[in-house]
Amino acid sequence: MNAILQCAKFGEPTDGAEIYVTDFPCLQCTKMLLQAGIKKIYYLRNYHNDPYAMSLIEKKHVTLTHVELDAEAIERASVDAYLAGH
Ligand SMILES: [Zn+2]
């Protein structure tokens, strides 16, 4: 919700945009994202996934992607960042 409102405030178009969120959006947020014209949703965690929200996303042909984080890749990236800082 905040991300969309910030876009509205600063005149950044959301129509056709992609969004990255940590948790599966609730029904109200899903409706808002669809109204804002979001075309791709990437989310990290399944969180009380609302079946009605899922059906709305499907009906609007919005791409829904569950992002899988690779723990080893994160570890390597943080070690690299640590070494780069020394
Ligand atoms: Zn929500």
Residue 86 has pLDDT above 80, yes or no: no
Q: How far is the CA of 11 from the centre of ligand 1 (A)?
A: 22
Q: How far is the CA of 74 from the centre of ligand 1 (A)?
A: 27
Rounded Cα gap, residues 35 and 33, in angstroms? 5
Q: How far is the CA of 72 from the centre of ligand 1 (A)?
A: 30
Output phi, psi for 73, to 5 deg. -65, -40
- The per-residue pLDDT for 69 is 83
Q: How far is the CA of 77 from the centre of ligand 1 (A)?
A: 30
Q: How far is the CA of 30 from the centre of ligand 1 (A)?
A: 7
19-48 per-position pLDDT tens digit = 999 999 999 999 999 999 999 999 999 999
pTM: 0.79
For residue 45, give the 3-state DSSP assignment. strand
Which two structure tokens, joined as six digits, stand for 19? Answer: 């969004």
- The per-residue pLDDT for 8 is 93
For residue 70, give the 3-state DSSP assignment. coil
Q: What's the mean pLDDT when you consider all of the chain?
A: 92
Region of residue 37 (left: phi > 0; alpha: psi -120 to 50; beta: else): left
